[in-house]
Amino acid sequence: MTVATESPLLARLKAVLAENADLYHAQQILEWDARVSMPHAGAAARADVASTVTQLAHGRFVSDEVGKLLDDLDAAGHDPDSVEGALIRITRREWERAARIPSELAGEMVQVSGVAVAAWDEAKAASDFESFSPHLERQLELKRRYVACFPETEEPYDVLLDEYEEGLTTAQVEEIFGRLEGELVKLVDRHREDSVEEIAGPYPVERQQEAGRLVLEAFGYDPESWRLDETPHPFAAKPGVGDIRLTTHTDERDLTSLFSTMHEFGHGVYEFDIDPSLARTPLGRGTSSAIHESQSRTWENLVGRSRGFWRWFYPQLQGLFPDALGGVDEGSFVSSVSAVRAGLIRGDADEVTYGLHIILRFELERELLAGTVAVRELPEVWNARMKESLGVEVPDDARGVLQDMHWAGGLFGYFPTYQLGNVISVQVWDRARAELGDLEEQFARGEFSPLRQWLSEQVYRHGSRYRPSELLRHVTGSDIDPEPYLRYLHAKFA
Ligand code: ZN
């Protein structure tokens, strides 16, 4: 028997990367704590802590030692298709990107984001855009400085996109969104006069939390490794192997928390099922934002808004909310949770209008960066475009331009990955259905593990071993393609 031995070069690289991953996980804890349990007044001090940790991590990672290790490993030769090859490739990509950025700028971006998110929180509560606008100006100035660290491209926005989605260009996004926009507008128009009513609550908070737990347990949530907390803006985090943190926001007026819980489960299960041998390396996380989002949307929409799912779960939900749902049959309920309603809030949007919310943000953030829309005119432009694309009047900035925290957090280039996630989710879904048979029948029996196992095998366990485009080709045999998604929407909504 031969035992494969690791070269000293690779062992040294892995040691540096493990330290770096630990600092990244420490940042995850800092951020989780800031969003779930930190007193509001701690924001400025926390921003300093996060900034220091970022600068330390950045400085260690961009050291000449890492550059030299990568050069030596390349010179020694390795199989580009092996796990080691993938590790060296992705480390080089991250090292080359990071090395362009001074550590002070990396730290400043985190510091400014911490303060801006706290300011945004207050501005949103008071629906006061003006108090937030200096923070947005500051974020844009930092983003321009960041982009200027990279070689000039025709579209400066490409630099930002590439961070979340390796190799994706603005031109590709424009092409896909161009194909979607007209179809989405047509579908929204077709449903404009629908009168599917929302089923009035109240839905007591503890009962909703119970519903969330029942669904998560059936999906494969293990309380030994997962937790679920309340937060105003739901997210998922993985501070380490065996530690998955989901958050949700429960409001007794509606059942959106159930869908956001399923959404965050999708992010959590992707991270949870990554092969543990990839832990503490850059391969030990999901391969891109759009692939990640494709999985959250799978569990939220393709599973959680399917007929089969509700055939299984609706009787249980009725049992939890006899007052609100006792007299509502399953069909009416499913129609209500799938109804197309042009609304103000992206996070509450249905499967059809959602894409139009994203296209608006994709356009606006490029215009903000280019300076063709000024920060002070942003609310006015936002409201006019919402009227144009969705036909809705925005009554105040809290339900308009201030609704999302992304720009406060410096996340420019991130929004498009949400809609690309929707597109990819259906490509993967079609493949799953071809291989697993009638999924709806399985869901109706409360069986979700065949789907989860298949997704783990195909997508989750690989972590970042494959580039997003490569992974998609492995699973579906195709590049990113909006047609399956459009077919899905037409079949369901046309
Ligand atoms: Zn998500």
Q: Dihedral angle at the C-alpha atoms of 402, 262, 444, 331, nearest 10 degrees?
A: -20
Average confidence (pLDDT) over 464-472:
97
Q: Which of 31, 84, 94, 264 is catalytic?
A: 264
pLDDT digits (tens, 9 = 90+) for 398-454: 999 999 999 999 999 999 999 999 999 999 999 999 999 999 999 999 999 999 999
457-469 core/surface letters (b: 16 or more CB in 10 A; e: else): ebbbbbbbbbbbb
pLDDT at residue 2 is higher than 90? no
Check residue 194 and give its pLDDT: 82
Check residue 23 and give its pLDDT: 95
How many Cβ atoms sit within 10 Å of the Cβ of residue 55? 19
d(CA 7, CA 40): 48
Q: What percent of the chain has pLDDT over 90?
A: 95
State in Å: Cα 263 to ligand 1 middle.
Answer: 6
Closest Cα partner for 54 from 135, 122, 139, 114? 114
State in Å: Cα 63 to ligand 1 middle.
Answer: 33
pLDDT digits (tens, 9 = 90+) for 338-370: 999 999 999 999 999 999 999 999 999 999 999
The confidence band for 227, taking pLDDT boundaries of 50, 70 and 90, is very high
The confidence band for 3, taking pLDDT boundaries of 50, 70 and 90, is low
State in Å: Cα 184 to ligand 1 middle.
Answer: 21
pTM: 0.96
State in Å: Cα 293 to ligand 1 middle.
Answer: 5
State in Å: Cα 150 to ligand 1 middle.
Answer: 28
State in Å: Cα 264 to ligand 1 middle.
Answer: 6
Average confidence (pLDDT) over 42-50:
95
228 SS3 class? strand
Q: Are strands 243-248 and 226-230 parallel, antiparallel or unpaired?
A: parallel
Average confidence (pLDDT) over 379-390:
96
Lowest mean pLDDT among 35-49, 51-65, 185-199: 185-199
State in Å: Cα 346 to ligand 1 middle.
Answer: 12
Q: Are strands 236-240 and 243-248 parallel, antiparallel or unpaired?
A: antiparallel
State in Å: Cα 88 to ligand 1 middle.
Answer: 28
**Mean pLDDT over all residues of the chain?**
95
State in Å: Cα 303 to ligand 1 middle.
Answer: 15
Closest Cα partner for 304 from 247, 245, 219? 219
Closest Cα partner for 69 from 53, 84, 54? 84
Check residue 178 and give its pLDDT: 98
- Give residue 90's Cα distance to chain centre: 20
The confidence band for 4, taking pLDDT boundaries of 50, 70 and 90, is low
Average confidence (pLDDT) over 270-296:
97
Average confidence (pLDDT) over 150-167:
94
State in Å: Cα 292 to ligand 1 middle.
Answer: 7
State in Å: Cα 69 to ligand 1 middle.
Answer: 35
Closest Cα partner for 360 from 403, 398, 300, 396? 403
pLDDT at residue 1 is higher than 60? no
Check residue 196 and give its pLDDT: 79
Check residue 198 and give its pLDDT: 85
Q: Which residues contact 464 (CB under 8 A, 6 or more apart)?
A: 86, 90, 278, 282, 283, 284, 285, 286, 287
**Does 393 qualify as catalytic in the annotation?**
no
Check residue 480 and give its pLDDT: 97
d(CA 403, CA 186): 25
pLDDT digits (tens, 9 = 90+) for 66-82: 999 999 999 999 999 99
State in Å: Cα 60 to ligand 1 middle.
Answer: 30
pLDDT digits (tens, 9 = 90+) for 307-343: 999 999 999 999 999 999 999 999 999 999 999 999 9
